[in-house]
Structure 1
Amino acid sequence: MDAVSVNTVPGGALHVVLRGEIDFTNSAWVRKVICDAVAEQRPPAVRVEMAEVAFLDSSGIGMLVDVMRAAGEADAAFRVEHPTSRVYDQLRTAGLLAAFGLP
């Protein structure tokens, strides 16, 4: 199972699904996959589904920030959706909830 899948949904939004562990071993590759899709498709929105993420380290958080920036450069709305409670706590501690569209 890949750590990332990227699909376009009706309306043109990019739907990104992250799975498993997103850490220093794969975050650069995940970043490239998503940012390349954003640059090529220039979607109106980028939604990152995180319900299946078991672990996220600082490089994974950095990857999300880079994807948010890439979305901004493409004038696309950016949002993280359904983070696990552990990931949510990490994003809260990093001060990124509002930036990622989370309550």
Structure 2
Amino acid sequence: MPQQRPAARQLDHPGREELRLEAVLHALSDPVRLQVVRALADLDEEVACSAVELPVSKSTSTHHFRVLREAGVITQCYYGTSKLNGLRRDDLDARFPGLLDAVLAAARSRD
């Protein structure tokens, strides 16, 4: 009998209809998390956590990525030993039209 490989580790993500405005706004209210979202928006592709340079420790960075994922702002999936991150732009735009663009524009205007 052939051995089966264990299923890849799956991370919990809220569905599009489960996205809550207050959770999304809370996730976007932190400057470090907003920096992550800006980087993912600029890159427009899934990237490893290490591709986003942050001024915090690795454990703190992990926390910020988790908050964004649990709020439904980003998606995370394992690819080998890397965790890839992508912005859930389509889901956010469908659920809260214009919100992400407004937040990103406001953040960029402060530069």
Higher relative contact order (CA 8 A, sep 6+): 2
- The structure richer in strand per residue is 1
Fold equivalence (TM over 0.5): no
- The structure richer in helix per residue is 2
What TM-score, normalized to structure 1?
A: 0.30
